[in-house]
C-alpha cells in the first residue's frame, strides 16, 4: 500500500507546494491540505506505518527529516528547526520519537 492509496495525489501535491520554502513547513497545515486530518484512525495507522521507514514502530528524528520525501521523492528535506518543532509537537512522552498514537493525536488535533 502507498500513501496515494489513502490520500489524493492532488492533495499531496498541494500540501507539498505549500511548504516548498525552507522553514515554511507546518505539520497542522500539511495534515489539513493533504487530507490526512480527515482520515479515520485505521487510515492514520496505515499512513504511520508507511512513514515509519525502518518499521520500528516509531518515527525518529532522522526519519522525520525526510518526512516530505515519503510523499514525493523529489520533495525537500525538512530543516533542523522544522524537524525539532515537528518532533516537539508530537512527542508527548518525551522519548525523542513519535509513536503511532502520538502521530494520530497530532494529526487529529
Residue 2 marked ligand-binding: no
C-alpha cell belonging to residue 23: 522553514
**Across the chain, where does the E strand assignment appear?**
58-60, 97-99
Residue 54 marked ligand-binding: yes
Residue 46 marked ligand-binding: no
The shares of helix, strand and coil residues in the chain, as percent rounded to the nearest 5, are 60, 5, 35
Distance, CA of 17 to CA of 4 (rounded, Å): 16
Residue 37 marked ligand-binding: no
Residue 95 marked ligand-binding: yes
Residue 102 marked ligand-binding: yes
Residue 25 marked ligand-binding: no
Residue 56 marked ligand-binding: yes
Which residues make up each annotated binding site for Ca(2+)?
Answer: 52, 54, 56, 58, 63, 91, 93, 95, 97, 102
Which residues make up each annotated binding site?
Answer: 52, 54, 56, 58, 63, 91, 93, 95, 97, 102
Amino acid at each position: 500500500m502507498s500513501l496515494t492509496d489513502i490520500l489524493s495525489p492532488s492533495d499531496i501535491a498541494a500540501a507539498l507546494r505549500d511548504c516548498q520554502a525552507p522553514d515554511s513547513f507546518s505539520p497542522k497545515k500539511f495534515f489539513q491540505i493533504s487530507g490526512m486530518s480527515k482520515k479515520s484512525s485505521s487510515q492514520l495507522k496505515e499512513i504511520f506505518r508507511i512513514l515509519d521507514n525502518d518499521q520500528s514502530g516509531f518515527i525518529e528524528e532522522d526519519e522525520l527529516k525526510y518526512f516530505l520525501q515519503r510523499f514525493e521523492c523529489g520533495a525537500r528535506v525538512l530543516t533542523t528547526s522544522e524537524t525539532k518543532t515537528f518532533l516537539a509537537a508530537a512527542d508527548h512522552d518525551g522519548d525523542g520519537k513519535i509513536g503511532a498514537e502520538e502521530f494520530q493525536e497530532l494529526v487529529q488535533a
